[in-house]
Structure 1
Amino acid sequence: MKYTFNILICILPLLIAGNTILVYKNFQDSNISSNNPRMPGTINIKTGDKIFTATLLDNATAMAFKAMLPLTINMTELNGNEKYFRLPADLQANASNPGTIKTGDLMLWGANTIVLFYKSFSTSYTYTKVGKIDDPTGLAAALGSDDVKVTFELRQER
């Protein structure tokens, strides 16, 4: 009995310390939104030498898109107001008609087409909102009027 008690006294501090470290690590991991695809956050959108910061919405589509990052794609020009790319996998969609598209909107058309809008206009189409560029000043010039290479990546918090 005395022998068992001594072993327990020696092991107990190690067990408590180990559990404390695990709890602290889980707390840290759950609070780092830029590395957690289950939480919305901010991303960088790069084209040429320009970088735009975008805020993702808190929805399943944005979370699934975030989990795909980093992603460098060749976006196709369409209608003089948007660039699009067909993703290799479908994302969960919850489309609705926004009525008006705004410069800097990042949306999903259908289940697998990511669209970055660089001009505002009225629309009758339905989209699932993914996010929005925080300051779209200069976005149209940066994207140009042709197809363009764009990189979407997690924004590193400082």
Structure 2
Amino acid sequence: MTQRPLDAGTEPPLGAHLVTPRHGYCHHGIYVGDGKVVHYAGLAGSLRPGPVEEVSITRFAAGYEVSVEPSADPLYGRHAAVRRARARLGEDRYRLLTNNCEHFCTWCLYGESRSEQVLACFIYPRAALRTALCLFTAFLGAASPMRRTGPCVN
């Protein structure tokens, strides 16, 4: 299954796992309705980790395209996934390798914290190096504008 980009003005399904590309990684969140997304702010906006928060889809996207990650038989239905996401609002225990935004979304939908991006970095050292270099240049502000559309590649 491949990610499906959201059309402008289209509301994602309640409880949808949303993904948006960033410099060197993809950012993840759960759509909770009324144009809002619950996500682990993590390092999405600064060098300091942020808490689980509810923001507008526009703020979540930060100028990038947003796609819906296909969910194959989630353990929790849409309303339960939204309740689970909101139950963690304010949590401030972000850890890049063990408790990031993707771990958060898989926990909301499947009850298990998992990050394919982190796994890919351990399995494919080149992917880890490429991600680290992208993050480093983005944090230094030296990165040229990267593609703001298209699916995330792990």
TM-score (norm 2): 0.30
For the pair shown, the structure with the greater C-alpha radius of gyration is 1
Q: Which has the higher strand share?
A: 1
Query: Normalization by structure 1: what TM-score?
Result: 0.30
